[in-house]
């Protein structure tokens, strides 16, 4: 039995100053770096997801010049641009994280990390299964979109799944995402809670 940490979309465009910023994104990057420095050894594998949209593509309508901020969004996380890069404070100095990276959203909308693949074409599920993972913790941006989708897919796939709420930031603080995750058997807790 192994445990994985999935770090969702902590990229420049989703942090303050980015094209689709989530309030608190910069702090989430710093907090995850501190968490990794203190608790990274507790995980057998650390996998990061990245939103990664093809240049000159609207990703089948996902990117729009007139976004509704529900299903369509302004241009963001275009592959090869600084906005698609991980936040510069995300990885602890001297540590070798992530162990792997999964890119999603290439050519079609994708919120869950389980919709992406790594550079070798392997899915997040295959990476977790190859490492004999049975438990996952999910952190990152944004709590009510890609973190939620990734956590729900993890739980539905059969992994014991927790979201470490204090290592996320949300666009909407309405509780809807919390309810959706809990109904999918995702535990929402704090990073200081160790059970």
Mean pLDDT lowest among 51-55, 144-148, 158-162:
51-55
Residue 80 domain-assigned?
A: yes
CATH number at residue 39: 3.40.50.850
Please check whether residue 68 lies inside any domain of the structure: yes
Residue 145 belongs to a domain: no
- For residue 177, being part of any structural domain is answered with no
Is 183 contained in some domain?
no
Question: Tokens in use for 97?
Answer: 């994280």
In a domain, 36, yes or no: yes
Q: What is the mean pLDDT of the chain?
A: 90
Positions annotated as catalytic residues are 9, 104, 146
Residue 131: phi and psi, rounded to 5, are: -90, 10
What pTM value is reported for the model? 0.93
For residue 2, what are its two tokens?
A: 């192994």
* Interval 59-76 mean pLDDT: 75
**Is 168 inside any structural domain?**
no
Tell me if 174 is assigned to some domain.
no
Question: How many domains does the chain divide into?
Answer: 1
Give the pLDDT confidence of 159-172 residue by residue, as tens digits.
Answer: 999 999 999 999 98
Question: What residues make up the domain containing 119?
Answer: 9-22+30-133
- Please write the tens of the pLDDT for every residue from 2-37: 999 999 999 999 999 998 999 999 999 999 999 999
């Amino acid at each position: 039995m192994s445990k994985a940490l999935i770090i969702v979309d902590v990229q420049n465009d989703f942090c303050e100053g980015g094209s689709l910023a989530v309030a608190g994104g910069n702090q989430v990057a710093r907090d995850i770096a501190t968490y990794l420095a203190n608790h990274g050894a507790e995980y057998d594998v650390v996998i990061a997801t990245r939103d990664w949209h093809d240049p000159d593509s609207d990703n089948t309508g996902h990117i729009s010049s007139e976004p509704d901020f529900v299903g369509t969004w302004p241009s963001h996380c275009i592959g090869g641009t600084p906005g698609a890069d991980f936040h510069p404070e995300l990885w602890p100095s001297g540590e070798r994280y992530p162990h792997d990276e999964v890119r999603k959203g290439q050519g079609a909308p994708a919120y869950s990390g389980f919709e992406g693949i790594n550079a070798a074409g392997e899915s997040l599920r295959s990476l977790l299964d190859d490492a004999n993972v049975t438990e996952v913790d999910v952190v990152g941006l944004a709590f009510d979109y890609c973190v939620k989708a990734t956590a729900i897919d993890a739980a539905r796939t059969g992994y014991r799944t927790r979201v470490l709420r204090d290592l996320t930031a949300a666009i909407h603080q309405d509780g809807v995402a919390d309810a959706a995750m809990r109904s999918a058997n995702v535990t929402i807790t704090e990073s200081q809670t160790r059970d």
